[in-house]
Structure 1
Amino acid sequence: MPQLRFNITSVGTYQVPVIVGAVVGGCSAINAMAFPRGQRDDYDRWEELGGGEGGENGWGWKGMWRYFLKASRFKEPNPALVKQFGIRYDKKYWGSENGTSVWASWANFQWPATKILYEAWKEIPGIEYPDDNGQGESGPQWFPSSVDPATITRSYSNTAHYQPHKSRTNYHLITEHKVSRINFATADGKKPKAESITFVSRETGERRTVFARKEVILAAGAVHSPQILQRSGVGPRKLLEEAGIELVKELPGVGMNFQDHTSLNLGYNFTTQPFPNLDALATNATYQAEVDETWNKTRVGPYSAWGNTASHALVSFPVISPDNYQDLANQIENQDPAAYFPPETHPTVIAGYKVHLRVLAKGMRSKNTGWIQIANAPSGNAALTNSHPLSRGTIMLNTSDPECEPVVDYRAMTNPLDIKIFVEMIRLMRRYILADGIIKQLSPVWYNPPLEMTTDEEIGDWAKRTDVLLPTVYHAIGTCSKMPLEWGGVVSEDLRVHGVEGLSVVDASIIPSLVGATTSQSVYAVAEKAADLIKARG
């Protein structure tokens, strides 16, 4: 649905559509509705990268816990499916069924082959199964979707946070407009203070300005929040000078530290599949008619579970590569932090990345950092995702036309260790799919990357091909990172923008480091914590 997206294409080696929702609800209106939580290590890294006092009031696992619960309401899975498939869950890790938060519910259907794929992980040394995805541990796991269990429709920020409250007299939503800039009041000897915003009609180009009584809160997402700051005079000095924009506050980190999960598809078929299966849905007219009738009458069956019928595993590097993970971690830790950044990168950004390398090396040594995300389709093939890429991209305004869409450069695979990481991941998947165990019931036939590719160089060259690697799975974060100023940070632990007053950022752009999961649940939790921080200011 192109009308629901902004028209952006990335630049650089990997040129792909940058999918950002242009609709009430933003990206939550167009995502795949997967609703997993990351691992404890992921959120503790947020704290290590600048999380304030820590503990229950910090940005680590302990501090975020209550916001995970608050961010969703939970519907338990069908008991028959729990028994049939061995679905592991524990409702203590989730919110209640009350309130108006986003739903975390379970599909009412699974393909029989999915159970085999989950069971097959037991044959990989070191694999452990957590009791629940919400427990914050790595391993093969089931997780809910953001779907309303009563209507089997998308549950997202529009249905959860706008529709129930739109009648409030202090709640005004203006659609078909874009924010152009934040306006600052400046006085000698004082920090610039955000006092208003200017927004523009997407249809007529008419400009209007709204003034803030207390503060301006920016939530335009990881793609547009840095651009708005830059257009407003907050960002890298050289960039703003080239664009002819008056500098309000030099913040070199605005638009830097851009991260997204990188992914590729592995090719193999399961030539013996238990019935029913996806192939039958495509080729068996009788079965297809039964599925259609069931869906139309009861809203159950394969269509009710679309997007969440794969088997999922979040695997740590000690399991991925027990022989090589220590060496890779050492290479990360000892890497020159400036080596793979553009030469003009500000020293504070480099200093921050040095800290990233240290905490990611620690994560590579941990059994509880799910470095690889695997979505294994019950008919064959898998999406293989690097949860913690080392490469860093940029999102900058277009200096020739600051009002047009930003320049997005994923810079995927610019750090060569990302290639080595994918090589180890592919080797793990070959061991898993071609094992002499339960998975043989599916008669797998592997074809991509070809088994004739055996060396690290051959597999790595295949993985980085532009027709193989996806530089994004639409989980953009980091462009207004919650980190100290001396580490290239943009906001402090209370989400106020460094060096100015009256301005906060409260979206995915503040997340300093990716989680081993899709990002939607984490972003909702960030927003809930942001709300408490803002209310506490009075």
Structure 2
Amino acid sequence: MCLVVYQLRTAFVLFGLYQVAGANFFGSLEQSEVSEDQILKSYDYIIAGGGQSGLVIANRLSEDVSKTVLVVEYGYFNRDPSQLDPLSGIAYLPRYLFNYTTVPQQALSNRTSGLLAASAVGGGSTLNGMLFDRAAAEDYDNWERLGNPGWGWEGLLPYFKKSTTFTPPRVDLVEEFNITWNVHKAYGSGPIQVTFPDWQWPTLKTQWRGWDELGVPRNLEGNGGDAYGTFWVPTNNDQSYRRSFAVNAYYDPIHARPNLHLITGYRVNKVIIDDDRLARAVQIQERKADGVSSRSSTIIQATKEIVLCSGWLNTPLILQRSGVGPASLLKKAGVDVVVDLPGVGSNLQDHPALNPAYEYHTDLIPNERSLYTNATFAQWADEQWTQRKGPHSLGVGNALADLPLRLVDEDWSSTLAVLQAQDPSTYLPKHYVKDQIDGYNAQTKLLRSTLSKLNNGAIEIPFTGVNRSYVVLEKPFSRGNVLINTTDLYGAPTIDYQTNFNPVDVKILIAALRTYRKWHTTPSMMTLTPVEIIPGANITTDQDLSHYIARSIDPTSGHSCGTASMAPRKIGGVVSPDLTVYGVKGLSVGDISIIPMIPGTHTCSTVYAIAEKAADLIKSRNIY
């Protein structure tokens, strides 16, 4: 899923004002969309989930006209034109999200949290902030070092390129703001269109200088494997600043293929696995408006492979309901154990985020508030937008500070030493078995090495020329889980991020807040006369900052991953490097849940690369 932190939960009402009268929220029957009565009895490939990765894989598998492909998606199409505009990057309509909440988060004052998990065709690419970046190369190299050959930076780079096409921004904007990129190293000629908006706020130049004065190095851009320091990031928009995403880039151009079928509004209950542990079929069931299935289920056969693309939330739930998961959990739920695979549903990671804010008393003009306080400027901006230009083309922003731990935490070596001395079982979910603890130890060993370097970020601070930002923890050491409801297999699952349960995460966040404040004391930033509003200048001690974090941090940036982890089985992995599920034939996973260690980036671009690579792997083992 690629849903970023730059959402404003209060923006739902605002976004509703932009809905087009008569907009088709649930989609008309698309050319390849079928009803249950039109579904074939069997397909070569069945893809459980028509989100971001599911549509990519469906596109690539259906290129072979001799192969039939069925995509089963719980959500519906969102064909509202406003969903394509930059404003949609900060307003996520609840009808396109799963309506679940976490269990109380012990380290967050026992608060519960809603989720950012998309329920729509196109998945997280339909509902995100459209910031299109990649992590530093070492983040992906760590996947390979964990025991996944072919999944390092060099193995993924061809798929990053295969999925994208870059178009430079206006020349005068490039010169004024010193916008930089590396088209030859980072981009290809793929379906997803990537560019920069037609506008940046003047204050952004001041913020850039502030990071320079703080000693943070500038990089050409993040998408070439150098995502650390400060750098520019494009957005996945076309040249008219409309969202370029899995639906209009991967599905729409091929929706008329006769060998491709898509059914929406249906849940995959489970995969049917025979006595030889071969995945034979899926059981699907229609949903009602309240999300509860209404009519009897239908079984559809797969002759070659079943591919789970239901995301970090539902892929592990489907596996667990199918008898693949932790044996103790399955037995408690009354599910026959097919494969005891403890890692299914574990290893949940996300980027928890704080939202501090300042008031700039001598801000540059125009600024974001000019859209509301200056009628002449607002009218000009509206006129520009009729030509798809101007301030309304700017979404969540395009500049990031990706700060290495050594630039954030003066005591960084002691922080890493604390990790090394920990008994990991103290801070992991209690149901973890030895293999999972060994896997976590392998991850933390890699992370300690990575975080000791200057070419990798621990904290992300996006800056857009406005007076508020986010402080995002990119390498959390806490781990959570997604588990079926043992008294109701289709009821609300147990979702527990365990955010900040490991105290090292809090220590790094406190240091990050102090760095954020230090940035505002640089000579350039002081010209704006910044006054801290949140958390407030009176919040100074580690204890007070810790309390602020517990009360205020959001457990999710919409980057949840890891719940069907790609890693060796002996260290808690669920899928092998070819993405097949351990212990089951004919069953694979091709979505964000396979990520073993969360990369320091907004995950949308990475999911496209995963899906493109998954499609090649699936085709290579099903040639005949």
Q: TM-score range by the shorter chain?
A: over 0.9
Kindly indicate whether the alpha-carbon contact (under 8 Å) linking 2:201 and 2:464 is maintained by their aligned counterparts in 1. no
Gaps of at least 5 residues in structure 2 are 1-92, 106-110, 289-293
Matches within 5 A, 1:2-401: 2-13=94-105, 14-52=111-149, 58-96=150-188, 98-99=189-190, 101-125=191-215, 127-137=216-226, 138-149=228-239, 151-187=240-276, 192-203=277-288, 204-296=294-386, 298-308=387-397, 311-321=399-409, 323-401=410-488
For residue 448 of structure 1, what is the aligned residue in structure 2?
Answer: 534
Q: Distance in 1 between matches of 2:495 and 2:268?
A: 18
Post-superposition shift, 1:280?
Answer: 1.0
SS of corresponding position for 1:213: strand
Q: 1:206 to 1:148 in 2, by over 3 A?
A: farther
Post-superposition shift, 1:27?
Answer: 1.3
Kindly indicate whether the alpha-carbon contact (under 8 Å) linking 1:93 and 1:132 is maintained by their aligned counterparts in 2. no
Q: Distance in 2 between matches of 1:519 and 1:400?
A: 33
Post-superposition shift, 1:447?
Answer: 2.9
Kindly indicate whether the alpha-carbon contact (under 8 Å) linking 1:12 and 1:410 is maintained by their aligned counterparts in 2. no
Post-superposition shift, 1:389?
Answer: 0.8
Q: Distance in 2 between matches of 1:139 and 1:166?
A: 41
The letter for the 2-side match of 1:442 is L
Gaps of at least 5 residues in structure 1 are 53-57
Kindly indicate whether the alpha-carbon contact (under 8 Å) linking 2:116 and 2:556 is maintained by their aligned counterparts in 1. no
SS of corresponding position for 2:424: coil
Post-superposition shift, 1:134?
Answer: 1.3
Q: Distance in 1 between matches of 2:562 and 2:553?
A: 21
Q: Deviations over 1:491-535 (max 9, x none)?
A: 011101111111100100000111111000001001111111111
The letter for the 2-side match of 1:202 is R
Q: Distance in 2 between matches of 1:373 and 1:31?
A: 17
For residue 575 of structure 2, what is the aligned residue in structure 1?
Answer: 491
Post-superposition shift, 1:377?
Answer: 4.2
Kindly indicate whether the alpha-carbon contact (under 8 Å) linking 2:397 and 2:462 is maintained by their aligned counterparts in 1. no
For residue 562 of structure 2, what is the aligned residue in structure 1?
Answer: 478
| 1:524 maps onto 2:608 in alignment | yes
SS of corresponding position for 2:148: coil
SS of corresponding position for 1:134: coil
Q: Distance in 1 between matches of 2:360 and 2:391?
A: 19
SS of corresponding position for 2:207: helix
Kindly indicate whether the alpha-carbon contact (under 8 Å) linking 2:199 and 2:394 is maintained by their aligned counterparts in 1. yes
Kindly indicate whether the alpha-carbon contact (under 8 Å) linking 2:429 and 2:479 is maintained by their aligned counterparts in 1. no
Q: Distance in 1 between matches of 2:99 and 2:112?
A: 13
Post-superposition shift, 1:331?
Answer: 1.5
Q: Distance in 2 between matches of 1:224 and 1:427?
A: 38
Post-superposition shift, 1:103?
Answer: 1.3
Kindly indicate whether the alpha-carbon contact (under 8 Å) linking 2:429 and 2:480 is maintained by their aligned counterparts in 1. no
| 1:462 maps onto 2:548 in alignment | yes
Kindly indicate whether the alpha-carbon contact (under 8 Å) linking 1:337 and 1:351 is maintained by their aligned counterparts in 2. no
SS of corresponding position for 1:62: helix
Q: Deviations over 1:213-233 (max 9, x none)?
A: 111111000111000000000
The letter for the 2-side match of 1:460 is S
SS of corresponding position for 2:142: helix
Q: Distance in 1 between matches of 2:515 and 2:505?
A: 16
Post-superposition shift, 1:398?
Answer: 0.9
Kindly indicate whether the alpha-carbon contact (under 8 Å) linking 2:116 and 2:557 is maintained by their aligned counterparts in 1. no
Post-superposition shift, 1:452?
Answer: 2.8
Q: Distance in 2 between matches of 1:220 and 1:93?
A: 31
Kindly indicate whether the alpha-carbon contact (under 8 Å) linking 2:131 and 2:602 is maintained by their aligned counterparts in 1. yes
SS of corresponding position for 1:238: helix
Q: Distance in 1 between matches of 2:454 and 2:411?
A: 14
Q: Distance in 2 between matches of 1:124 and 1:389?
A: 24
Post-superposition shift, 1:333?
Answer: 2.4
Post-superposition shift, 1:461?
Answer: 2.1
The letter for the 2-side match of 1:217 is V
What is the count of residue pairs matched by the alignment? 519
Q: Distance in 1 between matches of 2:469 and 2:431?
A: 39
Q: Distance in 2 between matches of 1:507 and 1:495?
A: 10
Q: 1:156 to 1:397 in 2, by over 3 A?
A: same
Aligned counterpart for 1:414 among listed residues 491, 496, 501: 501
Post-superposition shift, 1:451?
Answer: 2.6
